[in-house]
Amino acid sequence: MTEANGQPLMAQRFRSFLPVVMDMETGGFNAEGDAILEIAAVTLTMDAQGNLLPDATFAFHVEPFEGANIDQAALDFTGIDLANPLRKRVSLSESAALGEIFRPVRKAIKSNKCTRAILVGHNAAFDHGFLNAAIARCGIKRNPFHPFSSFDTATLSGLMYGQTVLARACRAAGIEFDNSEAHSARYDTERTAELFCAIVNRFKDLGGWSLTQREQGMDER
């Protein structure tokens, strides 16, 4: 963990927030009533030069909550087979899946001396809405994520590359994207993490945020 002025670079870069990339595959568009079927998260790290890098991936199949709606059109789009025996064996409840993600996120928040996590997503409002609805359903009191702020890579890639579709934005950033793998939470989250890192690092390379500028700003306060 690289520090300057006694504070890890990650905490300095995003105003004490720890960006965590997330994606969910769902049974529809209604966060309150439609099921979460897959969930994935990628934590990020930062090297000594202030470059952002993907760190660890956490991905789970999720059992639909009781009474959840699942549209067939959503299954056709994602290719998820709810009857697959392997899926049935490894699926977790929403509560268990969130717990498996929140534990390492809390650990990363602490190790980076951040105050809380902030969700990064492609069309982040969608995933953030489903995350908050699941947290409420599960009665989770200690939500490590900011309740309403997020970083949206669709917006950022539109600004940086002129592309808002994930596959096209990745290719514009020089990131390989396999359409046959798309719409799995793990794959989309890992590509979104690479895209977010590419955007943040490109901004730095173009003269945006830098460690030197940040240290000077801290010295002036």
What angle do the packed helices 124-138 and 94-111 form, to 10 degrees? 110
List the catalytic residue out of 61, 122, 128, 183. 183
Q: Is 183 a catalytic site residue?
A: yes
- In the block, tokens 């669709």 appear at 154
Name the residues annotated as catalytic.
183
